[in-house]
Amino acid sequence: MNRTKKLWQRANTTLGRSGMLAGGFLLVVLLAAVLAPLVAPADPNQSSLLDSYAGPSGAHLLGADGIGRDLLSRLIFGARTSLLGPALVVGVSLLLGIPLALLASWYGGWVDGVIARVFDLVYALPGLLLAVLTVALFGPGLTPAVVALSIAYIPFLARIVRAAARQQRVSPYVDALAVQGFGVLRITVRHILRNIVPVVVGQAAIAFGYALLDLASLSYLGLAVQAPTPDWGVMVSDSDALLKGYWLQVLAPGVLIVLTVLALTVVGARISGEKPPGYLRRRRPAGAALKDRAENDRTPVGAAA
């Protein structure tokens, strides 16, 4: 009990109000994805032509799509594929990126240089294009798309890890540990990696959001997740519903994508220690100073007048 309370407090101070809200939303989405068979009101692939484009009702809480499949159930099951893909992408690129980044930051010099050059080259290819090319080679599917995006995301994550690890590498405590005879592996894993965990987790959350966008785009194009499988990106590509004006069927998954990515960015930024933007902080008590004529003088160009 006490531990839960402590954890809650810690989360509260790290994430702040907006971060807690975003985290709560993510938790709901995640639970929906994991417990989909339990919480979904219907089978997402059960079609019934009588219910074609049915409006919201007791039978279909959010209505049904063109062939009468329950929209809410498809959204809930869609969370599974929509979250699994980016999770794999981030996982694989961290697994490959972190060792490379630590290697580069520990040894510096030419090792660092070679790794940086390779990253530059990968960076020159947009992730989406790389994924499209991979699909051209291996045919459409979630696996080729995930493999391609994992490669494309390695430089993004590895650069951040390298910079953070480099900062630790040059701090005196690392030299102190080395002098005490601790091995490279031990220092790197037990100390350096541990200290940069917040940055890595935060940036991974942000990368998760981008990967979600990229994968959803690919599914939308019919190159990743394939049609009857419920997936948010696939659902947005329902042009029949779109052109017939059934916007809920198309925009509900779209809105879910936007909200999930937004929540991921907010949480990611908070965890990696970026300050919340000013409008979220407590407003300054109204001070007479604001009205003072000298107030605007330091930044007069910034004033409206």
Where along the sequence are the contacts to another protein (CB under 8 A)? 120-121, 124-129, 132-133, 135-138, 140, 209, 213, 216-217, 220-223, 233, 236-237, 242-245, 247, 250-251, 254-255, 257-258, 261-262, 265-266, 277-279, 284-285, 287-290, 292-295, 297-305
What ranges in 108-141 are assigned the alpha helix state H? Answer: 109-124, 127-138
Between CA 114 and CA 122, with CA 118 as vertex, the angle to 5 degrees is: 165
Residue type, 186: R
Beta carbon nearer to another protein, 106 or 210: 210
Take residue 39 and report the two structure tokens written for it.
Answer: 């919480």
Angle between helices 2-34 and 71-107 (to 10 degrees): 120
Q: How many CB atoms lie within 10 A of CB 147?
A: 18
Closest approach of another protein to the CB of residue 12, in Å: 20
Beta carbon nearer to another protein, 38 or 243: 243
Beta carbon nearer to another protein, 43 or 120: 120
Closest approach of another protein to the CB of residue 243, in Å: 6
Query: Which strand (E) or helix (H) includes residue 199?
Result: helix 197-220
Task: List b or e across 183-212, with b for residues whose CB sees 16 or more CB atoms inside 10 angstroms.
Answer: eeeebbeeebbebbeebbebbbbbbbbbbb
> Are 260 and 209 contacting, i.e. CB atoms less than 8 angstroms apart?
yes
Beta carbon nearer to another protein, 164 or 213: 213
Q: Distance between CA 264 and CA 203 in Å, rounded?
A: 10
Enumerate residues 6+ apart whose C-beta is below 8 A from 119: 154, 155, 158, 159
Beta carbon nearer to another protein, 33 or 236: 236
Beta carbon nearer to another protein, 22 or 72: 22
Closest approach of another protein to the CB of residue 48, in Å: 24
Closest approach of another protein to the CB of residue 32, in Å: 19
Closest approach of another protein to the CB of residue 139, in Å: 9
Beta carbon nearer to another protein, 147 or 196: 147
Length of the chain: 305
Angle between helices 71-107 and 247-271 (to 10 degrees): 30
Closest approach of another protein to the CB of residue 8, in Å: 25
Nearest to 216 by CA among 269, 149, 125, 126: 149
Closest approach of another protein to the CB of residue 294, in Å: 5
Beta carbon nearer to another protein, 15 or 102: 15
End-to-end CA distance of the chain: 56
Take residue 58 and report the two structure tokens written for it.
Answer: 């007791």
Closest approach of another protein to the CB of residue 253, in Å: 8
